[in-house]
Amino acid sequence: MSGFIIGRIKSIRYAVKGLFLLLATENAIITQSVIALIFVGLGFYLDIDRVEWALQILAIGLVLSIESLNTAVEKVCDFIHPEHHEKIGFIKDIASGAVTFAALTAFAVAVLIYSPYLM
């Protein structure tokens, strides 16, 4: 049992380290985090309800998660093939497209949440 607990503690430590690495080194994550904080502040200011908070938190989590995975894909691609290669570019573009889907979804959620408050 203690081995299981130690393993979970190590896993959490690695996850937190990854979170801090993303926030310290990746401009896209920093930008998305700032945008998220702005919308959290706006949510408090406009006193959005619990369902709206849930949707907003899910949208923020979606964008940050997909952006993080995109970063990981890019790092792996650069490690495997540092020079420019058409197939690597294709893989990176697909990963970037996933971020765009997430961002558009978050934008739609923001419009649905905030348009009644701002009109």
68 is known to lie in a ligand binding site: no
- Is 74 annotated as a binding-site member? yes
> Is 92 part of any known ligand binding site?
yes
Q: Given 67, 70, 95, 99, which residue is catalytic?
A: 67
What is the 3-state composition of the chain as percent helix, strand, coil, each rounded to the nearest 5?
A: 90, 0, 10
- For residue 86, indicate whether it is catalytic: no
| Buried/exposed code over 5-40 (b: 16+ C-beta within 10 A; e: otherwise) | eeeeeeeeeeeeeeeeebeeebebbeebbebbeebe
Q: Is 52 annotated as a binding residue?
A: no
14 labeled binding residue: yes
Which residues form the catalytic set?
Answer: 67
Annotated binding site for ATP: 14, 26, 74, 83-85, 92-93
Annotated binding site: 14, 26, 67, 74, 83-85, 92-93, 96
Annotated binding site for substrate: 67, 96
